Amino acid sequence: MEAMPFHLDMKRIRSVLFALLLLAAPAAVQAQFAYVTNNGAVILTGYSGTAGTVVISNFVNVITNYVFYNRSSLTNLTIPASVNSFGDEEFFSCQNLASVTLCGGVTNMGDFAFGSCASLTNVTISNGVAVLGGSAFDNCTKLAGITIPASVTTIGPDAFEGCSVLAGVTICGVTNMGVQAFYNCASLTNVTLSNGVTSIGSYAFYGCTSLPGITIPASVANIGEFAFSGCPGLTNATFASGVPAIGAYAFYDCTNLAGVTIPASVGSIGSYAFYECAHLAGVAIPGVTNIGAFAFADCFALGGVTIPASVTTIQQDAFAYCTNLTGVYFTGNAPGVDTNVFLSDNEATAYYLPDTAGWEQFATNTGLTPVLWNPAIETGAGSGFGVTGNYFGFNITNTANLTVVVEVCTNLAGQIWVPLATNTLVNGAFFFSEPVKASHSGRFYGLGVP
């Protein structure tokens, strides 16, 4: 018998394999699901069932767009690890979908994948999922909490926008967080950003009105505009050492923000970064070189600020309308200043250290008349300071968040000073302890500015 052409044999082989694949699935599944194959991948293209609980078979690799779009009967869903992608609006507006389990194979999730699933309360994302698409859980108004595993590297724009009862989020391995990722999540009270997040998109947490505090890990290299703006519940923000900059409008209108910890790694504070943070009473900026326009404008509670020697530029209106600002303490030469830097700060006095320069031009540009700053160091035992037990205590008057270095020398003739601790003096006083040293004989302490 003459053999069939080779390409017909291959077609028959593919058909037989696919038939066997379908036979391996339950009869009910065959009736409800439609599949095609493409380059060896099994693609789910249609669903005609009405079951409340749907488990996608573990031979499926791809789910095309809109297969489960607006399925009101769907209540529970399991997507196996074999599925590596599904399309846009795949489960959009499944109004009764309450629970979703992603088993770890998804590397690409389409936009609006679970958008407007108004009954969704529980989402389990297994390790292995790489991408949460744009608007993936947009307006899932009953979603209360979610853990995003270390395998997820990207959270798309608007991923959890409008999840109004979302209270807690743990983000373990994300490197890129899209624009408006958690926009208007009004109930969000707990956010954990693990080290590894490199970018927080613009408006990422905008309008999270219940968020009380945030810690920015050292891995973050970019904080987008308005990232935490409009969070009136935010009372404190901590930046780990390593964060290089604070973006424009980052904490704009965080009216109850009272405390901010900014490490020396932060070189730039963007325009309007802390604008209208009305309760911000003090801030230390030890390594900043540029302070953007309106960065601290309308911070009515700000009473004093120390400008380190690293600052070379202060842009217009940076401290405008800080009506309670009384002391601005400069530890280096006068920085370049734009117009109205201290507009309407009628009680403010600028202080400068001996042997620094540029103050005549500074006075012309700002309208403030700088005066010599001679901070007094109290270390006398009668004042409760000095060497007592294993402590060296001191108080520096006329300061505002001054950063000082405690140094020790064991041989004054050699003048070798070893730094022991760096501390920002919020209230002026500080006690430094050397518990391993029972006797302070032969040890001399000094203070310096980094």
Distance separating alpha carbons of residues 78 and 125, to the nearest angstrom = 10
- Statement: residue 403 has pLDDT above 50: yes
Q: For the chain, what are the domain ranges?
A: 377-448
Identify the pLDDT of residue 342.
Answer: 97
* H helical segments located in 271-316: none
pLDDT band at 425; cut points 50, 70, 90? confident
pLDDT digits (tens, 9 = 90+) for 73-89: 999 999 999 998 888 88
Mean pLDDT along residues 389-400: 69
When mean pLDDT is compared over 189-198, 369-378, 403-412, 413-422, the highest value belongs to: 189-198
When mean pLDDT is compared over 89-98, 165-174, 415-424, the highest value belongs to: 89-98
Structure tokens at 377: 């160091």
By C-alpha distance, which of 241, 289, 232, 234 is closest to 264?
A: 241
- Statement: residue 438 has pLDDT above 70: no
pLDDT band at 429; cut points 50, 70, 90? low
- Statement: residue 1 has pLDDT above 90: no
Q: Which residues pair with 191 in a beta bridge?
A: 169
* C-beta separation of 205 from 188 below 8 A: yes
Lowest mean pLDDT segment, chosen from 27-31, 120-124, 302-306, 364-368: 27-31
Distance separating alpha carbons of residues 109 and 63, to the nearest angstrom = 10
Distance separating alpha carbons of residues 274 and 97, to the nearest angstrom = 41
- For residue 121, the surrounding DSSP H or E stretch is none
387: left (phi over 0), alpha (psi -120 to 50) or beta: beta
Percent of the chain residues past pLDDT 90, beyond the cut: 39
pLDDT digits (tens, 9 = 90+) for 252-296: 999 999 989 888 899 999 999 999 999 998 888 889 999 999 999
Phi, psi (deg, nearest 5) at residue 327: -130, 130
Q: Which residues pair with 387 in a beta bridge?
A: 392
End-to-end CA distance of the chain, in Å?
92
Residue 339 neighbours by CB distance under 10 Å: 12
Identify the pLDDT of residue 195.
Answer: 84
